[in-house]
Amino acid sequence: MSIQKDALSRLVSLFAALSLILAACGDAENPRAEPTNARSRITAAPQEASPAPAASPEEPAPTDDGMRPTREVLVERDVKGLGVKDERVLEAMRDVPRHLFVPEEQRSRAYENRPLPIGFGQTISQPYIVGLMSELLDVQPGEKVLEIGTGSGYQAAILAELTDKVWSIEIIPELASRSRSTLRRLGYDVTVRQADGYLGWPENGPYDGIIVTAAPDHIPQPLVQQLAEGGTMVLPVGAPGSYQTLWRVTKRNGQTVSENITDVAFVPLVRNRR
Does residue 201 belong to the site contacting ligand SAH (CB under 6 A)? no
Q: Which is nearer to ligand SAH, 175 or 227 (CB)?
A: 175
- Considering beta carbons, is residue 40 or 168 the nearer one to ligand SAH? 168
| In the complex, least distance from residue 158 CB atom to ligand SAH, rounded to whole angstroms | 8
Of residues 132 and 269, the one with the C-beta less far from ligand SAH: 269
Pick the stretch among 15-23, 70-78, 151-159, 224-232 that binds ligand SAH (CB under 6 A).
Answer: 151-159
Question: Is 177 an annotated catalytic residue?
Answer: no
> Containing H/E element for 4?
helix 2-24
| Cβ(190)–Cβ(170) below 8 Å | no
Q: Which of 40, 43, 70, 125 binds ligand SAH (CB under 6 A)?
A: 125
User: 251: which strand partners?
Assistant: 256
Catalytic residue among 40, 125, 134, 179: 125
Strands 255-264, 244-252: pairing kind: antiparallel
CB of 122 to ligand SAH, least distance (A): 4
Residue 196 as a binder of ligand SAH (CB under 6 A): the answer is yes
Of 57-96, which residues contact ligand SAH (CB under 6 A)?
none
> Could you say whether residue 210 binds ligand SAH (CB under 6 A)?
no
Closest contact distance (angstroms) between CB of 22 and ligand SAH is: 42
Q: Whose CA is closest to 81, among 91, 92, 89, 73? A: 73
Task: Tell me the longest C-alpha to C-alpha distance in the chain.
Answer: 93
Pick the closer one to ligand SAH by CB: 27 or 189: 189
Backbone phi and psi for residue 245, each to the nearest 5 degrees, phi listed first: -105, 135
- Do the Cβ atoms of 164 and 140 come closer than 8 Å? no
Out of 46, 97, 127, 151, which residue is the one contacting ligand SAH (CB under 6 A)? Answer: 151
- C-alpha distance from residue 107 to each of 45, 63, 110, 145, 167 (Å): 11, 17, 5, 28, 26
Q: Interacting stretch for ligand SAH, rule CB under 6 A, among 9-17, 67-75, 148-156, 256-264?
A: 148-156
227 binds ligand SAH (CB under 6 A): no
Q: Please, what is the minimum distance in Å from the beta carbon of residue 28 to ligand SAH?
A: 40
172 touches ligand SAH by CB under 6 A: yes
- How far CA 116 is from CA of 124, 126, 152, 184, 208, in Å, comes to 5, 8, 10, 22, 29
Residue 198 interacts with ligand SAH (CB under 6 A)? yes
Q: Which of 208, 207, 236 is nearest to 220 (CA)?
A: 236
Burial profile 220-236: b = 16 or more Cβ within 10 angstroms, e = fewer: beebeebbeeebbbbbb
Strand 227-237: give its sheet, edge to edge: 190-194, 165-170, 144-148, 207-212, 227-237, 244-252, 255-264
* Residues belonging to the active site: 125
Interface with ligand SAH (CB under 6 A): 122-125, 148-149, 151-152, 154-155, 169-172, 175, 196-198, 213-214, 267, 269-271
